[in-house]
């Protein structure tokens, strides 16, 4: 699992332990961002973030901010490890379940 493009391109990501979370594959993220086009300055919400691969990809490609929402313990550990390793600007973590996190 890695960041595909942008300022953090090719950096490896931590993934949650166990089978409760399935990270978004490199191929799926590549297809999504090819379809979305430029995300410079965008405000992104990575809901059910897991290890944060989708939001980190957006930040790497120029998104201004990303709110990562995750409540699973293993996923939060992986997400926080990724944020510590990559230190992207504009990252915010909300560790509450949905829909309560949106209040």
> How far is residue 39's CA from residue 77's CA, in Å, rounded to a whole number?
27
Tokens of 1: 């699992």
CATH fold of 26-102? Rossmann fold (3.40.50)
Rg of the chain, C-alpha, whole Å: 13
pLDDT confidence of residue 87:
96
Q: Residue 58: exposed, middle, or buried by beta-carbon count in 10 A (0-12, 13-18, 19+)? A: buried
E strands of the chain, at which residues?
43-47, 65-69, 91-94
Instruction: State how far the alpha carbon of 83 is from the alpha carbons of 35, 93, 100, in Å.
Output: 26, 10, 23
Q: Of 40, 38, 96, give the one whose Cα is nearest residue 67.
A: 96
* 22-81 residue pLDDT tens: 888 899 999 999 999 999 999 999 999 999 999 999 999 999 999 999 999 999 999 999
5 has pLDDT over 90: yes
**What is the side-by-side strand order in the sheet with 65-69?**
43-47, 65-69, 91-94
Q: Where are the domains of the chain?
A: 26-102
């Amino acid at each position: 699992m890695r960041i595909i493009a942008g300022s953090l391109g090719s950096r490896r990501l931590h993934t949650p332990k166990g089978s409760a979370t399935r990270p978004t594959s490199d191929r799926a993220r590549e297809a999504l961002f090819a379809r979305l086009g430029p995300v410079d300055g965008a405000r992104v919400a990575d809901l059910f973030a897991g290890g944060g691969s989708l939001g980190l990809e957006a930040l790497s490609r120029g998104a201004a901010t990303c709110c990562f929402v995750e409540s699973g313990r293993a996923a939060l550990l992986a997400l926080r490890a990724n944020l510590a390793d990559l230190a992207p600007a504009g990252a915010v973590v909300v560790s509450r379940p949905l829909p309560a996190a949106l209040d």
